[in-house]
Chain A
Amino acid sequence: MRCEELAGMVSTTADGVAVDDWRGRRHVETCLRCQAELVRYRRLLRTLRTLRTDLFDPGPGLVADVLASLEEAGERHLLRSLLSGHRVAYVGGLAVATAGAAGALVIASRSRGRRVPLAG
């Protein structure tokens, strides 16, 4: 088995992940070159994890910019809900008016139908 074939496995093993490939595992246990590679990967991962504690300074303006964009988004949302509220009221009013007109027509046509001729 070639060490190059196990490069991926060594990188994964350094992460503490159990590897199913028993032949590969056995190879790494007995190969000095792969063990040295494993040590290098472990060191790399340890150093990468130390970067987690870094905090970069975004400068004083970032929070203000974020809050301003939230404010703007909030206002847009409010405006949108107001507009959609007006739209609902308009459509509702139109529906009531249409229903009213239709009702009036029905009543008018019925009363016309019931009219009894007086003469004759």
Chain B
Amino acid sequence: MSETLERSQTLVAAAREGDRGAFEELVRLTSADTYTLAFRLMGDEDDARDVVQEAYLRAYRGISKFRGDARFTTWMYRITANCAVTQLERRKRHRHEELAVDAPLADGSAERDPQARADVSALRDELSQALQELPPRLRAVVVLRDIYDLPHEAIAAELGITATAAKVRLHRARARLRERLFPAPKVTLPTEEVGTCAV
């Protein structure tokens, strides 16, 4: 077991007993990680900070109920995702700026440099950018599943949707990212042959 994990478990045990200092230490240990997830979900620094603050408050209130089956960080991811959904709904009500799920992504193909694409770092940057351009509903699912490895059921529970809906959103999000980062080569075939293969 890693030293950090062991330390985290000791702190969680103390926090569950009401030791606020231990909880504060957990905040210091995990805040960057929690903020990173919040920023990925919200795509905005101020909103991400609000989400982090709310997430730790909820965690503080609920720490006595945290059974410790999962890691503290995983528990925090779930709370953060839930707070982000609340914040996104609030933002939607106030700013009316959410993109429609089917709105097309900005096409960056013209600026894409084949040399730079080979570079892993450039690819990661491009992926981060593409993630930020996804509609929040799709972004949340792909971030939680493919980056943070949360199970479909947990994602569905925190986002307030069914597991089936979560899977559909995941497929849509992946398809749009795939199209943006690794577009399929355009092949001109006679109409009846396009996309048809015999089993």
Contacts and interface: CB of A to CB of B under 8 A. Distances in A.
Contacts of A3: 195-197
A27 B149 CA distance: 29
For chain A, the bracket of interface size reads: 35 or more
Interface in A62-111: 62-63, 65-67, 69-70, 73-74
Interface residues of B, number: 45
Contacts of B149: 52
A120 interface: no
Given A41-B178, A51-B127, A70-B20, A1 B31 contact: no
A66 B50 CA distance: 9
Contacts of B167: 12
B197 A40 contact: no
A115 interface: no
Contacts of B39: 56
Contacts of B93: none
A23 B167 CA distance: 21
A36 B148 CA distance: 26
Contact of B148 (A4, A44, A52): A52
B24 interface: yes
B90 interface: no
B128 interface: yes
Contact of A40 (B36, B120, B123, B178): B178
Given A40-B184, A58-B32, A70-B24, A47 B57 contact: no
A27 B174 contact: no
Contacts of B52: 58, 62, 66
B72 interface: no
Interface string A37-67: 1001101110111111011111000110111
Contacts of A50: 120, 124
Contact of B147 (A14, A34, A51, A70): A51
A74 B184 contact: no
Interface of B: 20, 23-24, 27-28, 31-33, 35-36, 39-40, 48-49, 52-53, 56-57, 60-61, 120, 123-124, 127-128, 142, 146-149, 167, 170-171, 174-175, 177-178, 181-182, 184, 195-199
